[in-house]
Amino acid sequence: MNGAESLLAAARDAGVAVCFANPGTTELPLVEAFDSVGGIRTVLGLAEGVVTGAADGYARMAGRPAMTLLHLGPGFANGIANLHNARRARTPVINVIGEHATWHQAADPPLAADIDSLARPVSGWVGRTSGAAAAASEFLDARQAALRDRMPATLIAAADHMWDDGGETAAVPPEPAPAAVDRHRVAGIAKLLAGPGRPALLLGGAALGADGIRLGARIAAVTGGDVFAERNPARIERGPDVPAVRSLPYFPEDTLTALQDYTHLVLVGTGIPVAFFGYRGQPSVPVPEHVQVHTLADLDEDAVDALGAVADATGATSVEPPVRERPALRSPRGELHAKAVAIAIALSQPDRSIIVNEGVTAAAAYPAVASAAPAHTELGLTGGAIGMGIPVATGAALACPDRPVINLQADGSAAYTVQGLWTQARERLDVTTVICANSRYRILEAELGRAGVREPGPAATGMTDLGAPAVDWVALATGFGVPAVRATTGEELTAALENAYAEPGPHLVEAVLP
């Protein structure tokens, strides 16, 4: 057994079932070992942004760490942006990066680079193999770190350590559990909520599962407050049996308004709200001064357990959570706009769909109409690094082959990682990509307007307009092996969606927006 075989045997024994990969020469001992060890499905991405984004989507849905295999510093670098999103989503990802043979590194060959410096900004743990004998245990160290830190961990595996004989087996340690919340803190929050004032509960992380949302809604029903979801959650459950929660808005002035009428803000599995960008005259932390901020559970603590304890203490456990009526939406007709796309999806999506929302400016419309949809899971753009939608949808579909995946996708962002469509075709995944084709970086136009630019000049226009030439998304999808159609009206969009859900395998619908 060589080092590569011992590493992959440990990965398999630790429950790694899929490895997302784009290997090169330094990873070939591992490529060979996938065949000799067995038990791990390899999924190829045509660029590393696809690989790492798919790993993020897979782990968010599978509830276990994802593995990637990447080629040296430059190959890893191509995957950093989606690992940044994974870090912000608190997704455990185990990256294995092939490195030059140890005796070759001093020669500074062309592909040599400071991998550690590249890896640290997106990894809670960065390590290097020390030899074939320790490769398995070092992989398990990375896995343990990814689970403990809830973020990517990166193991840099030298080629000679992988091809050398002498690999040893290693025992898989138990998964670390989230820390329990201190009961005194629970009692204090329960007392606070039962007292005077109007509290807002801000849920994030695991608290946005169905159990957490139901507990939050029960508590709010008893204590007279409201429940909010953090902006851009990694994963949130919705459906007829899950009370609707408001999302915190994007711009800080809107968040200030949303929180204006509360006396307390209780954080549950999330941190204090932070403005996405710093704006002149707006605060970094958009919480009104009169609002007192408390933490029930921080990001490392068991937020659902804490909510259960607060529900017990406030008498909320026996209360039925309020059920918001499903809004009566009409199927969109005529020319498309962002909200019409969101409504068409909400009204047509099959039960238990997974919605990957990288709509950017179109994304905001979906949560507002999602309570009209059957039960579903939504995955969001956590870290703001665009290009996550197509890859995350790919990984989610691999994690949940029995659930339809719908990717509500901005066009500017889709262009970043459009190569992911090929992996969807290759793996025959049930993903429907809906491109919101407005042929512009609409968010930048909006930001220019906020900055007081009424009539952008040619340079500014040239850097926000994607219309000359307009990208033909049907052609791109076809080129990567995904059947595609264009929709210009609500009727066409609904028909295209229903066809896509009915046929197995991936589809793309280009929704042409004005």
Instruction: Figure out which of the listed residues 325, 330, 402, 459 binds its own copies, where binding follows CB under 8 A.
Output: 459
Q: Determine the residue type at 262.
A: Y
Using CA atoms of 72, 77, 81, 83 in order, give the dihedral in degrees to the nearest 10: 20
> Which segments of 271-388 does DSSP mark as H helices, in order?
303-314, 338-348, 365-369
- From the number of C-beta atoms within 10 Å of its C-beta (0-12, 13-18, 19+), residue 294 rates as middle
Considering the rule CB under 8 A, would residue 160 count as an interface residue with its own copies? Answer: yes
Task: Candidates 25, 257, 260, 331: give the one binding its own copies (CB under 8 A).
Answer: 25
Q: Under rule CB under 8 A, which residues in 42-81 are in contact with its own copies?
A: 42, 44, 46-47, 49, 73-75, 77-78, 80-81
Query: Which of these, 194, 178, 196, lies nearest to 186 by C-alpha position?
Result: 194
425 lines the binding site for its own copies (CB under 8 A): yes
Phi, psi of 54 (to 5 degrees): -65, -40
Give me the least distance between CB of 92 and its own copies, in Å please: 19
CB of 25 to its own copies, least distance (A): 5
R_g over Cα of the chain: 24
Q: Is 352 or 426 the residue whose CB approaches its own copies more closely?
A: 426
Task: Confirm or reject binding of residue 232 to its own copies (CB under 8 A).
Answer: yes
CA distance 326 to 372: 5
> For the window 347-386, what string marks contact with its own copies as x by the rule CB under 8 A?
-----------------------------------xxxx-
DSSP for 212-272 reads HHHHHHHHHHHHT-EEEEPSS-S-EEEBTTB---EEPPSSHHHHHHHHTT-SEEEEESS--
Dmax (CA) of the chain: 70
Name which position in 188, 197, 315, 456 contacts its own copies (CB under 8 A).
Answer: 456
For residues 92 to 131, the per-residue mask of contacts with its own copies, x marking binding by CB under 8 A and - elsewhere, is --------xx-xx-xxxxxx-xxx-xx-xxx---------
By the rule CB under 8 A, 293 interacts with its own copies? no
Tell me: does residue 485 bind its own copies (CB under 8 A): no
Q: Quote the least distance from Cβ 234 to its own copies, whole Å.
A: 11
Q: Which stretch binds its own copies (CB under 8 A): 29-37, 129-137, 432-440, 492-500?
A: 29-37
Integer CA distances (angstroms), 327 to 46, 334, 364, 369, 374, in order: 41, 21, 17, 8, 12
CB 494, min distance to its own copies, A: 24
Using the rule CB under 8 A, is 468 a contact of its own copies?
A: yes
Using CB under 8 A as the binding criterion, the count of chain residues that bind its own copies stands at: 99
| 17 belongs to the binding site for its own copies (CB under 8 A) | no
Task: Return the sign of the alpha-carbon dihedral for residues 345, 347, 348, 351.
Answer: positive
